[in-house]
Amino acid sequence: MTLYQPFLDYAIALLKERLDLSPYPIPEGFEYKEGTMGKGKKQEAVITTSYAFKSPKLRQIRAAHVRGGASLQVLNFVIFPHPAYDLPFFGADLVTLPGGHLIALDMQPLFHDAAYQQKYSEPILPIFKAYQQHLPWGGDFPEEAKPFFSPAFLWTRPQEMEVVQTRVLEAFKDYLQAYLDFVEKAEPVTDSQQREEILEAQRRYIAYRAAKDPARGMFTRLYGSEWTEEYIHGFLFLPDPLANAN
């Protein structure tokens, strides 16, 4: 079973169509990893595959895809813009566990002032509202996480797999298309102080995501803590936004 493969296939095809895409280096040992979960007759193989690209305005586009049978399916897909641009991050966390589905889609803002919201959040609010009626709010999330999400944060816990395969997939497509529209129009920031503020905002986001990565426990159980920490800090959330930014 590969619930989130259509999401990944769509994203890669769209990126290739709309961007001047080139490969982003994936450290050895991260491209493909196999483990097992469960015991006895309930034991299942779990495969984690990684994908990474870059483009002139986007310093890293990367995905981690975990396939472990009906009770474990995960796609974590994040786009990190080049720090010369004030673009938000694109973040998609698509998680299926024994208890159900957890879906988070957003263009995660660098700043929260009115001008930034007008530029990047307001244009996608109609998309958010169109899906909100079918994908209701998923409930509370940590107070400390709130600065990293926009007013168009689509956070939902659908019960039916069919909803993930239809509504969630359509929302993912629309959010990604809208994000690439922003990328197309983005102009480099020339003011040195503003560029420094962008760099600091990117570092805050990366540090938070690396520290609070909800997949840490799952990866540690599957592959051990050493591999997990190297994967989080050496591929998923690289601490220096200037590394490989050219």
Q: What is the pLDDT of residues 180-191, one digit of tens each?
A: 999 999 999 999
Residue 156 lies in a domain: yes
Domain assignment of residue 27, given as a range: 5-236
Q: Taking 70 as the threshold, does the pLDDT of residue 1 lie above it? A: no
Residue 207 lies in a domain: yes
Residue 241 lies in a domain: no
Residue 215 sits in a domain whose CATH number is 3.40.1500.20
∠ at Cα 190 (116, 89), nearest 5°? 40
Instruction: From residue 145, give the alpha-carbon distance in Å to each of 142, 201, 209, 213, 233.
Output: 5, 14, 9, 11, 19
Residue 244 lies in a domain: no
Q: What percent of the chain has pLDDT over 70?
A: 98
Residue 197 lies in a domain: yes
How many domains does the chain fold into?
Answer: 1
Give the sign of the dihedral formed by CA 165, CA 168, CA 172, CA 178: positive
What six digits make up the tokens of 191? 């003011």
Phi, psi for 92 (deg, rounded to 5): -130, 120
Residue 245 lies in a domain: no
The residues, ordered by sequence, that sit 6+ positions from 226 with a Cβ below 8 Å of its Cβ are: none
Q: Taking 90 as the threshold, does the pLDDT of residue 202 lie above it? A: yes
The pLDDT of 93-100, averaged and rounded, is 92
Element (H, E) at 95: strand 89-97
Residue 49 lies in a domain: yes
Residues 107, 174 contacting (CB under 8 angstroms)? no
The whole-number pLDDT of residue 244 equals 63
pLDDT grade, residue 71 (50/70/90)? confident
What six digits make up the tokens of 172? 């993912």
Residue 242 lies in a domain: no
